[in-house]
A and B are shown apart, each in its own frame.
Chain A
Amino acid sequence: MILIDCPYCGPRNSTEFRHAGEAGKKRDVTTNDPAVWRRYLYQQDNPLGWVRENWFHTAGCRQFLCAERNTQTNEFRWVAPAGSPGPDGASGNGSAR
């Protein structure tokens, strides 16, 4: 069982949450180039190690959260409300090595 320490609800089982993709991924709204759109749609970092990503507390407070998780061990080392600057002060772009 994996616990996620929700900043609103406290530690809850990960089954209450839904993974909501890598953090900080933004669509380039200044172009309508299909290649750029498809890259945004399909391409995602897939690192082995620490990542910064979004979660949604589906069966709890129904808030979006931002977290740092190790993809090898599933250890969470930081969970905060969505959009929070990371522990290193950066807003995050998926991998957080």
Chain B
Amino acid sequence: MSHAESVASIKGTAGAQARRRRSRGPARYSALDIFRRGVTNSDWPRSFRQHDLAKSYDVVIIGAGVHGLACAYYLAANHGITNVAVLDKSYMGGGGSGRNTAIIRSNYLTPEGVRFYDRSVVLYQNLAADLNYNVMFSQRGHLTLAHTDASLRTMNWRAEVNKLQGINSSVIDAAEVGRIVKYLDVSDRPRYPILGALYHPPGGIIRHDAVNWGYARAADHLGVQIHQQTEVLGIETAGGKVTGVRTNRGAISAPIVVNCTAGWATTISDMVDVKMPLITHPLQAAVTEPVKVFLPSVIVSGSLHVYVSQTDRGELVFGASVDPYPSYSMRGSLEFTESVASHILELIPSIGSLKVLRQWAGLCDMTPDYSPIMGVTPVDGFLVDVGWGTYGFKAGPVSGEAMAQLIATGRVPEIISAFDLARFADGRLVGEKGAASVGH
């Protein structure tokens, strides 16, 4: 059975025309509801259900992070395909989706990348209303500092590519940077003084857990089943075509299996012998104790290998480069804390007495060109949405939307056509390393 035939059979069983539906559930959140429950002191219903594993599904999605959940939600909401299972070996949103630094932006380097990530920003802007869930998206602006002539040149390059695609992005000088962020040291005191910055006003931060939970709740209301603690042990194929998966809770038959496992992507793709040019690196982050809000925008410094933003609670969230060797270990290291602390004090000397509350790591599946790998594979019915490296969370909504469209129509949407797996054999790389926040 070809992919198009599997799609036709799915549409038959779903018996629904592709149409946009609002997520309607038993408990629609509203201000009135908060008031009523506050007065009556009644419990909130669970936001998603638990199910027994069924014998078969139309689509099995491996990985219940933002990509898997968004894919499931858009399958149900945009295409009426609701017989979908999202499997996760651990808990929902516990991988990269709950470990990233929650920065959203679309100031990328290639036209393909800019168009793609900007669609994600647009979806994020409307996400709270679409999902009936407050995702706390704050478009507070995004500053990528330049400390050298070379980085200033890259910033100008990115700004021009961005403007051509209609993205609000421009290069500003050090004095302007100092007006936007009062506490930043824009003098010539530091070893690497700030020469200017790429300013991207639509960029900002979001509450990443709320995005995961919001997608999960909305998908659940539309009939999608989310199975946590359900590890995929193997993928069954027959005649070069996926027939189902084996899990620790039993076997499932399914004509379409989607790999949305980011850092663990190769452990899943190896099950069907689809070789991926991915290397898993940990990326560490840290957060300080909360202080009064003083940092108005997201600050990134590629030369100093650090980025920082302040949450609504007042904590400073730091991130840096990926660890310099492949690993699946999610332990923090002293070297990371030392490096981030010394570099951030070059930028913002006044936070020297702040204390680091905790640090953690997430796994990044790095591709050679820093662009994702999305779409079909040599195994019919085995689709991938991987290779996210350090860009995964930003791309969650657009990836889910595009993968759902691919599953429902059997055709690769134009917005992800440049990100196919075959590009590495053909030499059509989409070099996006220049848009990385920090040098990796």
Q: Give min CB distance, A71 to chain B, whole Å.
A: 5
Q: Check if B325 sits within 8 Å of A39, measured CB to CB.
A: no
B253 at the interface (CB under 8 A from A): no
Interface of B (DSSP majority class): loop
Q: Which residues of A contact B427 (CB under 8 A)?
A: 34, 38
Give me 28 A-to-B residue pairs in the complex whose CB atoms sit less than 8 angstroms apart, sorted by A's number. Answer: A1-B333, A1-B335, A2-B333, A15-B335, A19-B324, A19-B325, A34-B427, A38-B425, A38-B427, A42-B277, A42-B368, A42-B424, A43-B275, A43-B277, A43-B424, A44-B279, A46-B266, A46-B278, A46-B279, A47-B266, A47-B267, A48-B267, A71-B280, A71-B326, A71-B327, A71-B328, A72-B329, A74-B327
A74 CA / B277 CA spacing, docked (Å): 22
Q: Which residues of B contact A34 (CB under 8 A)?
A: 427
Q: Check if A74 sits within 8 Å of B425, measured CB to CB.
A: no
Q: Check if B368 sits within 8 Å of A41, measured CB to CB.
A: yes
Q: Which residues of A contact B267 (CB under 8 A)?
A: 47-48
How big is chain A's contact interface, by range?
20 to 34
B215 at the interface (CB under 8 A from A): no
A73 at the interface (CB under 8 A from B): yes
B419 at the interface (CB under 8 A from A): no
Q: Check if B266 sits within 8 Å of A74, measured CB to CB.
A: no
- Which of chain B's residues has its CB closest to A75's CB? B329
Q: Check if A73 sits within 8 Å of B329, measured CB to CB.
A: yes
Residues on B close to A: CB < 8 A?
264, 266-267, 275-280, 324-329, 331, 333-335, 368, 424-425, 427
A49 CA / B424 CA spacing, docked (Å): 26
Q: Which residues of A contact B333 (CB under 8 A)?
A: 1-2
Q: Which residues of A contact B280 (CB under 8 A)?
A: 46, 71
A51 CA / B328 CA spacing, docked (Å): 12
Nearest 4 A-B pairs (CB), nearest first? Answer: A19-B325, A42-B277, A46-B266, A42-B368
Residues on A close to B: CB < 8 A?
1-2, 14-15, 18-19, 34-35, 38-39, 41-44, 46-48, 51, 71-74
Q: Give min CB distance, A37 to chain B, whole Å.
A: 9
A71 CA / B263 CA spacing, docked (Å): 12
Q: Which residues of B contact A15 (CB under 8 A)?
A: 335
Q: Which residues of A contact B266 (CB under 8 A)?
A: 46-47
Given contacts A38-B427, A46-B280, A71-B327, 19 further A-B contacts (CB under 8 A): A1-B333, A18-B324, A19-B325, A35-B425, A42-B277, A42-B368, A43-B275, A44-B277, A46-B279, A48-B264, A48-B267, A48-B328, A71-B280, A71-B326, A72-B329, A73-B329, A74-B327, A74-B329, A74-B331
Q: Which residues of A contact B334 (CB under 8 A)?
A: 1
Q: Check if A38 sits within 8 Å of B329, measured CB to CB.
A: no
Q: Which residues of A contact B335 (CB under 8 A)?
A: 1, 15
Q: Which residues of B contact A47 (CB under 8 A)?
A: 266-267
Q: Which residues of A contact B325 (CB under 8 A)?
A: 14, 19
Q: Which residues of A contact B277 (CB under 8 A)?
A: 42-44
Q: Which residues of B contact A72 (CB under 8 A)?
A: 327-329
Q: Check if A39 sits within 8 Å of B425, measured CB to CB.
A: yes
Q: Which residues of B contact A41 (CB under 8 A)?
A: 368
Q: Which residues of B contact A46 (CB under 8 A)?
A: 266, 276, 278-280, 326
Q: Which residues of A contact B326 (CB under 8 A)?
A: 19, 46, 51, 71
Q: Which residues of A contact B328 (CB under 8 A)?
A: 48, 71-72
Q: Which residues of A contact B279 (CB under 8 A)?
A: 44, 46
Question: A15-B335, A44-B277, A71-B329 are contacts. A38–B424 as well, Cβ < 8 Å?
Answer: yes
A39 CA / B425 CA spacing, docked (Å): 7
A61 CA / B424 CA spacing, docked (Å): 36
Q: Which residues of B contact A42 (CB under 8 A)?
A: 277, 368, 424
A34 CA / B327 CA spacing, docked (Å): 29
Q: Give min CB distance, A77 to chain B, whole Å.
A: 15
- Which of chain A's residues has its CB closest to B333's CB? A1
Q: Which residues of A contact B425 (CB under 8 A)?
A: 35, 38-39
A42 CA / B333 CA spacing, docked (Å): 28
A42 CA / B326 CA spacing, docked (Å): 15
A35 CA / B276 CA spacing, docked (Å): 14
A14 CA / B279 CA spacing, docked (Å): 19
Give the most central of B278, B327, B331: most A CB within 10 Å.
B327
A38 CA / B275 CA spacing, docked (Å): 13
Q: Which residues of A contact B275 (CB under 8 A)?
A: 43
